Amino acid sequence: MTTASEVRRSAVARLREAGIDSAEHDAAELLAHVLGTTRGGLALVEALTAPQQASYERLVGRRVAREPLQHLTGTAGFRHVELGVGPGVFTPRPETELLAGWAVERAREVTGRPPVVVDLCTGSGAIALSLATEVPGATVHAVELDHAAVEWAARNLAGSGVHLVEGDMADALPELDGRVDVVVCNPPYIPLEAWESVAPEARDHDPALALWSGDDGLVAMRVLEQTAARLLRPEGWVGAEHADVQGAAAPAVFAGSGRWSDVRDHRDLAGRARYLTARLAR
Ligand SMILES: C[S@@+](CC[C@H](N)C(=O)[O-])C[C@H]1O[C@@H](n2cnc3c(N)ncnc32)[C@H](O)[C@@H]1O
């Protein structure tokens, strides 16, 4: 009989050899998934049955081939919610939790009426679901162009009260023009030429429409700037994630149009430029 800790140690070694930085974490997550427990619960497991060991080895093999961990477990945690994810939808990233938190704070500042919030490029629905969960009473709309992603979002947002729209953010939600308090967006932002530098988990498993955005990675940001200006009330807020190398170029899309005040960029805990925010001028 093989003990759980032996099996796990050998999985960590295989994952490390495959170049996976989070080998310890991923080995534990996959084992917890196979055993129907949590990572904390693994301390109580001494041995695996043969079928459990076989399932685990298969999943570790798929992770070694750089399938995203979240595709193997079928879920991704994001702030206080769990999203179903898999082929056809962008896997929500921890770094986007910062932008979502900023949007939650801005929505909570609205007084005297329910805040109206729009999550453009919603993907799995991660930001929209966080807003609906953390700002009770908010009216939340979510927009997504890719039909496969819309199907994931529809499942994740079922029962949340979020109004999900399939379509291009460029002309979405015309009925809300000038009425929105907060527009939030994690658009595609990787320059086409950066293909080589993108991790295989993203390059081979996130949908192309979720990643690439023209030669400079800012094509979708320019569309967002126009759409946010159309949707927002005067003094309404927009927040958008961007690549760490776009800490000057992405805010410049907003500053350069002359329509915005308070344009600023925000860094993550590691000091990387992460998202911009701006306020529609009166
Ligand atoms: C980087 S992913 C972000 C998904 C999700 N908001 C998140 O943070 O996990 C970008 C998403 O934008 C969608 N998208 C790209 N262009 C779009 C457009 N013009 N209108 C609406 N959605 C678009 C993609 O299909 C993808 O789901």
* pLDDT per residue as tens digits for the range 131-187: 999 999 999 999 999 999 999 999 999 999 999 999 999 999 999 999 999 999 999
Contact between residue 72 and residue 66 where contact means Cβ atoms under 8 Å apart: no
The pLDDT score that the predictor gives to residue 196 is 85
**120 burial type by CB count under 10 A (0-12 exposed, 13-18 middle, 19+ buried):** buried
**14 C-alpha to ligand 1 centroid (Å):** 33
pTM over 0.75: yes
Report how far apart, in Å, the C-alpha atoms of 249 and of each of 96, 136, 190 are. Answer: 19, 35, 13
Is the shortest distance between the CB of 122 and ligand 1 below 6 Å? yes
Partners of residue 84 on adjacent β-strands: 75
Ligand 1 atom closest to Cα of 185?
Answer: 6
Tell me phi and psi for residue 26, to 5 degrees. Answer: -65, -40
Query: What does the block give as tokens for 280?
Result: 């529609």
Beta-carbon neighbour count of residue 211 at 10 Å? 18
**89 C-alpha to ligand 1 centroid (Å):** 9
The pLDDT score that the predictor gives to residue 93 is 96
Mutate to test the pocket of ligand 1, among 131, 144, 219, 275 (most ligand atoms within 8 A of CB): 144
H helices present in 109-166, as ranges: 126-134, 147-157
DSSP 192-237: GGGGGGS-HHHHHHS-HHHHB-STTS-HHHHHHHHHHHHHEEEEEE
Question: pLDDT for 15-54, tens place per residue?
Answer: 999 999 999 999 999 999 999 999 999 999 899 999 999 9
The Cα–Cα gap between 279 and 181 comes to 10
Query: What does the block give as tokens for 191?
Result: 């320059």
Residue closest via CA to ligand 1's atom 7 equals: 92
